[in-house]
Structure 1
Amino acid sequence: MPTLILPETIAAYFASEHSPEALAHCFTAQAVMTDFGHTYTGINAIKALMAEASLKYSATTVPLTIEREDGLQLVRAKVSGNFPGSPTVLSYRFRLERGLIASLEVTA
């Protein structure tokens, strides 16, 4: 199976999933993240969400595919952790600006 090649910032996002401080360096200052219908704006809100999710779910994420969709990078990833329905495949829609994540939408 070929190795999945992700843009550097997206690879860093997945590699830092349990380190909110490291994740913060992947986003623009005014980034917007939508996670299952809840919207978080700015680095501090995103870091707080990621820290809470890391503690609560202990999830691990393995990117499976990447494609371009309407100017976005769409990554489908297998997510396993302490939540109902684990493991599952989620969709991550990244919009990059100047090498950083300007927006991210996570959906089932």
Structure 2
Amino acid sequence: MTMSAHGRPLRGLADLRTLTGRSDTQIPAHKAYLRISFLELEKARRMQEIRTANDRFAVVNARFREIDAEIADILASLNGTAPRAHALEAPHRSAVGLRPVKRQFQISY
């Protein structure tokens, strides 16, 4: 039997004590405040996204109003002078591309 120089048995990796398996139900204060600050930052980013989306929505609505005003101006300038619609006639069938069939399909050797 060999003894170590210090008189204690040697310990290996399996003998190290860690906090790995331990679960605390209470979050340490510094972790709680850090989590709160992360959530506040995410909230600020989302609010910025909402403001940006609202600005884009306002721009699109303004363009719709401009389009409606332009359409109203064009219709007002016509003042009932728009050309009347005419009835369409059947299109004339052209003989271009039509070949009369002279004989049946034949294969010659």
Q: Looking at secondary structure, tell me which structure has more strand per residue.
A: 1
> By the TM > 0.5 criterion, same fold?
no
Q: Which has the higher contact order (CA 8 A, sep 6+)?
A: 1
Higher radius of gyration, 1 or 2:
2
TM-score normalised by L of structure 1: 0.19
TM-score between the two structures when normalised by the length of structure 2: 0.19
